[in-house]
Every structure is written in C-alpha cells, then in structure tokens.
Amino acid sequence: MVASQLVLTETVWKGASLTVKAVAMAAFVASVFWVIAMMFAPRLTVLDLRGQPVLATVVEHDASRYYGRGGKQEQHCYRLQRTDGSPIFGDICRDWDEFAVGETMTVLFDPSGLIAPETQAKLPTPASGRSPGS
C-alpha cells in the first residue's frame, strides 16, 4: 500500500531521493508478485501438506468457452466422486480436455472440504524428496 502511494502520488515521487524511489519500486514489484503467487500457491501447498489420496471417478465433464486475450478459450471442469459413490467437494478445472467421464484416478482432497481436489501430478515436487501428500 505504501509502495503504491509512493509510486502513484506525483508530489511524493518528485520529492523522494533515488534510494527511496528504488526501494518503493522494489516493494511495489514484490507486492505484485506476492498477490499473483497467493492466487495459486496456497491451494496446492495445503493439498500437498494435508491432502489425502483418494481413488476417484470422473462423473461429469463441463466445458465452457469464453473470450480471452488470445480469442476463444475453453475451460474444462470435472466433477468427481469416490469409487464408493460418495461425492468429492470441488471440481478439477483445466484449460484443456484432460479426462474422460468414467475415468478413475488418484486425487488429493482436503478432508475439511474447503479446497478443490487436484491430481498429484499437478502438485509441486517437494525439495525434501518425499512424495506429495505423504
């Protein structure tokens, strides 16, 4: 917030020294990257730490088209259920068609039901060498 005010307020920007300008710009750029990272990383991190592997079957495939920067784009979302028939909260969504209805796979899901499931292949590989979800 402070960095954005320094960058966006012309009177403060003109009166600031070069050092203050450099620090303000570095803080501003870092905060932009922080916001972008927090949109994606927490979900996968929580699943990596708390997720439980479950055998699931794709029961529904929903494809939607929308206009993005590059023209028409698609989003494919897959609803899952456990092999015993109980539902799994949340959908797995991709920009491409990856799974087929009836396909069975292992996914990590959040036992609290707050975070959508994800395939283990989509999770980042930990540096410690342990397998995701263990």
What's the pTM value of the predicted model, to 2 decimals?
A: 0.58
Q: Report DSSP letters for 40-71, one per residue.
A: HHHHHHHHHHH-EEEEEEEEEEEEEEEEETTE
pLDDT band per the 50, 70, 90 thresholds, residue 132:
very low
Q: Strand, helix or coil at 77?
A: strand
Q: Does position 128 have pLDDT exceeding 50, yes or no?
A: no
pLDDT in tens, 93-104: 888 888 999 999
19 and 58 housed in the same domain: no
Residue 86 domain-assigned?
yes
Q: Does position 129 have pLDDT exceeding 50, yes or no?
A: no
30 and 61 housed in the same domain: no
Side chain identity, residue 83: T
61 and 74 housed in the same domain: yes
| Full domain range(s) for residue 96 | 52-122
Residue 102 domain-assigned?
yes
Q: Does position 31 have pLDDT exceeding 90, yes or no?
A: no
Residue 130 domain-assigned?
no
62 and 13 housed in the same domain: no
124 φ/ψ angles, rounded to the nearest 5 degrees: -65, 150
Total structural domains in the chain?
Answer: 2
Note the pLDDT of residue 59.
95
Average pLDDT, the chain: 80
